[in-house]
Structure 1
Amino acid sequence: MALSHGRAVWMMVAVTLMWATAGVVTRHLEHARSFEVTFWRSLFTAISLLVILTLWQGRAVLARKLREGGRALWLSGLCWSVMFTAFMVALTLTSTANVLVTMALGPLFTALASRFFIGHRLPARTWGAIFVAGAGIAWMYATKLEQGQALGTFVALCVPLAAACNWTVVQHAGAQGHKIDLVPAVLVGALISAASTLPLAWPLRASAHDIGLLAFLGLVQLAIPCSLSVICARVLKAPEVSLLALLEVIFGIGFAWIGANEVPAPQVLTGGALVIGALVINEFLGWRARLQLA
């Protein structure tokens, strides 16, 4: 698919809108809880991606990529499975705003991982962003600890940590000449997540209403936008993708506020503003520095 830069930007905005529906949809479930929510969403994601990838690349190509992906593909898939599982479990334990703001730490954790595991040097602006964002998260965590509600935020923290591990695996494989196709890796992650959470979710209690909503999440909130984001990443630069992806936080909190009457706590808005502000300034300064060198 050939895209202009402008169309890629708008497609990425649409991707973040789809990603952002998880919180509000989860709030309207009737009986499904915790690991069962994760199981159904991951199962429908896997089914959807099998169909999408078969139509997109062909069954033979998909089978070859899964067969030849090697250990790196399965390690990436394992990271995706942790992200899928932790995200949905966290949504059942704490507010949408807490989960999304915590997830926004992904780029900074990735920067730290690249520093310690790959040896990339971090500019002063990134260290400053890590400090400011860390202060924002610490403020959110401290309040939750006082309220005895920290578990959901700690579970959500597994998402950016797994994302940083995933990036490290992909970069290390690329340095050795083994390029990982991320969409099949997402499929592997969905399959691992569904298989590992089924025993924990049994006996299943989801109603037909719940299964319909979770099928929506599997297809529209995850499978389709993940596929589209890969297309966007071929046109947009990494900082542009990182900045546009932050729209998920804004859209997600807004959807949960409007659609589920989930009003974010003041400390979440304050801590979230520090996290998002640090990320935006860091990416903007990095973008300017690259323009000056070009």
Structure 2
Amino acid sequence: MEYFMVPTQKVPSLQHFRKTEKEVIGGLCSLANIPLTPETQRDQERRIRREIANSNERRRMQSINAGFQSLKTLIPHTDGEKLSKAAILQQTAEYIFSLEQEKTRLLQQNTQLKRFIQELSGSSPKRRRAEDKDEGIGSPDIWEDEKAEDLRREMIELRQQLDKERSVRMMLEEQVRSLEAHMYPEKLKVIAQQVQLQQQQEQVRLLHQEKLEREQQHLRTQVSRGVREGLAHAAAVPLGSSGADSGPKVPGCQVSCIIITLSPCSSPWRPGLYIHPILLMAELRPGKVTLHAHS
């Protein structure tokens, strides 16, 4: 048995020949309506897909080239200068940036011109009124009407500006709150809890203060009642007696005052609270009783 060695440099040409032969056979069979073998059919499908892909790639490249040509015609450049695609993109970006700067400058200039026109239009009635006044033309009623109209117009403009600034401020505050809530949710929770705790402590303090005030008012009422009872008792004691029928009497002397001392006692509505001793001095005079209280 003999073996034939095929040179490696001839293998690609042989494979290419066989591939071309299969394509030709497939085309002839398709023209003659002869059924194809599975291998020939697969080769034909691959060839069709390859042709479709190549066609799509050609269209894509043509579209890209057309876009670069359009950009090249739009940007300012030297006539006859050949530019690569990277250079076209770079010059396009620079040109767009310069156009943006020019647009900003024109907008600022337009705003300044509008403000200048408004100032001129707003001052023209005043200037006209001054000229009419100097020449003695016109009546005060017309001047007052124009002045009121100018004031009304200025008020409307100021109100519109105020509403606009208020809406912008509210929008900015809402954005700040949303950003803070998004960035610091835990911190906001802690602050809310601290505020709630402070409010609760303030409520407890107010309730405690109201309770103390009620207790002091009740205490003052009780003390006033005791004073009135002591005064009544002092008025009921006859002159020259010490509050009872028995006891020493000093002839020829009159009682000028009665001293009543209330002993300290415990408060019935609040354990541990003691009433300070109160010294009552009732000065008896003809037709008049004067009470002095000392604590």
- Structure having the larger proportion of residues in strand: 2
Q: TM-score range by the shorter chain?
A: under 0.3
TM-score by length of 2: 0.16
TM-score by length of 1: 0.16
Bigger Rg, which one: 2
- Structure having the larger proportion of residues in helix: 1
